[in-house]
Amino acid sequence: MNPHRNDGVRAFAPGSVGNIGVGFDLLGHSIAGPRDVAIVRRSRWYESAPIPPSDQPWFVNGVAAVVTALSPHALLALLHDIERAFGRVRGAPNAARTLDLDLLAYDDTVLAEPGGLTVPHPRMMERAFVLQPLAEIAPEWRHPVAKATAAELAARLPKTQECRPIASTST
């Protein structure tokens, strides 16, 4: 793998528990900054029930495709830096959070490091809040392990997952 490739889909999923005002434009400025990262496509915002089910408020989610010269590790570190800048404190798994940025995929790269980075994201195929917005912006993107497109994976999801686009068109 060439970490300096600058083509293909590198996707991440921003999700916000609270204020939808933390939009892609603001996140885009945080990501791009002086770094070699550019958002090239982004989905609408989606609202979804928490997974696993809990008494937490619904989440706001979206997916963006970016191009970058950063390696998968450096890109994930950048996403974590942005989370901290927005007040994210990592606590218990599945706890409420101000912002959650994940590296879903990096071209056709497959990584499975024990205790480390896993690409594609290990649970992305199970989650409507990831696959619906991903299928919106990159329906033909093919999961390098499952060998199915984002649209095919989204169509296979159980209809019991509550996830829907938010009516507002603001970013």
CA–centroid distance for 112 within its chain: 18
| Whether residue 100 lies in the annotated active site | yes
Out of 10, 42, 102, 127, which one is annotated catalytic?
102
Residue 164 to residues 23, 68, 129, Cα–Cα distance (Å)? 17, 29, 8
CA distance 63 to 167: 16
CA distance 96 to 33: 27
Residue 150 to residues 16, 28, 74, 92, 153, Cα–Cα distance (Å)? 22, 23, 25, 29, 5
| Whether residue 97 lies in the annotated active site | yes
Out of 35, 41, 44, 88, which one is annotated catalytic?
88
| Whether residue 88 lies in the annotated active site | yes
Cβ neighbours of 113 (radius 10 Å): 9
| Whether residue 7 lies in the annotated active site | no
In the numeric block, which tokens belong to residue 67? 């191009």
Tell me the catalytic residues. 88, 97, 100, 102
